[in-house]
Structure 1
Amino acid sequence: MTHAAAVRRGPAVAAAVVTLAASTTLANRVLPGWAYPLCGLVAATVLVALARAAGCSWRDLGLRTVRRPALVGLAGAGLVAAVFAIALAVPALRTVYQDGRVGDPDFGQLLWLTCGRILFGTVLIEEVAFRGVLPALFGAEDDRWRWRPILPAAALFGLWHALPALAIGRNAAVHELFGSTPAVVVQVLAMAAAGAAGIFLHWWRHAGRGVLASVIVHFTTNAGGLTLAVLVR
């Protein structure tokens, strides 16, 4: 990306960060639960509009193709499912699924949580923002792996989890490992882990040449983890 393009996209980056900050605050602290997916959809739409106005192409955003991203994403989902199966088969690892945040949802509530809140309120906004819009605004182009745009997007992905990380201690595995650790330290570690996960998810977006690949992997991880937590509680 040229210096002129970087200067032109500076305001778009600032506007995207403000949009994300407002979105996570509204979703986690202000809006009722039913509005969570709607907030994600609106924020994702605003971010794409900002990026397009700043000169990013659909290819830059990872939103141009479907077939390859879908195939790569499904392959990733299969790997995630295999990891879940191994964790279930090893009794010592089952505490990963014991999470006080899950509650006791019935089938209808579980469907809403996975296909409503997780898919549209979490996965869609996060993948569009942190694997599509922000890397493009930071200079990602031509489907090449470049650390310079990927790392700041991953760092912001970690910061995005600041509010959700406050409740991470309610997970049994986390509590067992960090029960005596100050809450703020656990929060920072959770944010750092989220940033690392952002790089992992960007690899799938890169391999699939599109955000749909990381969407599928991300959804399988979150929705599958929640479903298993409900089943083994």
Structure 2
Amino acid sequence: MKLSRTRSVVLVVGVVAVVVVVNLVAHGASGTAAVLVVPGAAVVLVLGARMAGLDWREMGLSRSELRAGIPYAVGAVVAVFAIVSVAVAIPATRQFFLSDRFDSASAAAFAALVTIPLQTVLPEELIFRGVLQGSLARLFGVRWTLTLGAIAFGLWHVTSSLGLTAGNEGLSGVLGSGTVGQIAGVLGAVAATTAAGFVFGWLRHRTTSLLAPVALHWALNATGAVGAAVAWHLPS
């Protein structure tokens, strides 16, 4: 069903409003609510977008789109694992993987195989590269669609990066600690995730498939967790 421009604007505004609320709840709540709010919101937004007229193809979720993304997905995973392996092996860059969250192999494995894909990667890709990018593409050209989607993805990470430098020895050593370090960490995280969001969005556009950015997103996050566990057990 073809969406009118007015309905497309309403859809984009509605998606952004939901994303803002979900972000605040996810980082302000605790327990089950904090765990389920983002995945739950992703499902609601996908179903809501379908009811509003956005089709599976526009969200990169049709069968043909998913098949088209398989070669890119495999290539992205292999490339990221190779690059991170080299970075962890080099002492000068290894320090940036020393995150307190993943100082054990079991914690890193659980995060890489369960928490990261189910609580972070799949929900975020459904929301940002699926629903939001598909909605923005109804209103804008490729450049603005990718840029606005990337900015939204970067801002999404403000709350989650507030304690970034405090839990990472490498980053705190470079950016400092306390309020100054925290602000620098947030700005750096927003800049990095905005850039990543642009790459994910471009990959989604280039392949027409949500599978490709899902694979790249997972590879980056999972290798970060596994790399941290490995880095803690290597000589500094």
* SS of equivalent residue, structure 2 residue 211: helix
Pairwise CA RMSD = 2.4
Alignment of 1:123-134 (within 5 A): 123-134=121-132
Structure 2 unaligned blocks of 5 or more = none
Alignment of 1:103-118 (within 5 A): 103-104=103-104, 107=106, 109-118=107-116
- Offset at 1:158? 0.8
Report sequence identity in percent: 29
Q: Partner residue of 1:226?
A: 225
1:186 and 1:225 mapped to 2: Cα distance?
17
Query: Partner letter of residue 152 of structure 2?
Result: L
- Offset at 1:227? 1.2
Alpha carbons of structure 1 residues 72 and 118: separation in structure 2 relative to 1, 3 Å: same
* SS of equivalent residue, structure 2 residue 163: helix
Query: Partner letter of residue 21 of structure 1?
Result: V
Q: Is the 8 A contact 1:166 1:187 kept in 2?
A: yes
Q: Is the 8 A contact 2:133 2:201 kept in 1?
A: no
Q: Is the 8 A contact 2:60 2:66 kept in 1?
A: no
Q: Is the 8 A contact 2:122 2:214 kept in 1?
A: yes
Q: Partner residue of 2:137?
A: 139
Q: Partner residue of 2:164?
A: 168
TM-score after normalising by structure 2: 0.85
1:53-97 alpha-carbon deviations (Å, 9 max, x no partner): 332221111111322212211101111011112202321110121
- Offset at 1:35? 5.6
1:32-59 alpha-carbon deviations (Å, 9 max, x no partner): 16861x3332111111122223322211
Query: Partner letter of residue 174 of structure 2?
Result: L
Between 9-18 and 124-133, the greater mean CA deviation after superposition: 9-18
* SS of equivalent residue, structure 2 residue 99: coil
Q: Partner residue of 2:59?
A: 61
Match of 2:175 among 175, 178, 192: 178
Q: Is the 8 A contact 1:73 1:204 kept in 2?
A: no
1:33 and 1:230 mapped to 2: Cα distance?
26
Q: Partner residue of 1:209?
A: 208
Q: Is the 8 A contact 2:74 2:215 kept in 1?
A: yes
Count of residue correspondences: 226
- Offset at 1:101? 3.2
2:101 and 2:88 mapped to 1: Cα distance?
19
Q: Partner residue of 2:82?
A: 82
- Offset at 1:175? 1.6
2:136 and 2:68 mapped to 1: Cα distance?
24
Query: Partner letter of residue 88 of structure 1?
Result: V
Q: Is the 8 A contact 2:164 2:186 kept in 1?
A: yes
1:144-175 alpha-carbon deviations (Å, 9 max, x no partner): x8111111111110110011110121322322
Structure 1 unaligned blocks of 5 or more = none
Query: Partner letter of residue 157 of structure 2?
Result: H
Query: Partner letter of residue 76 of structure 2?
Result: G
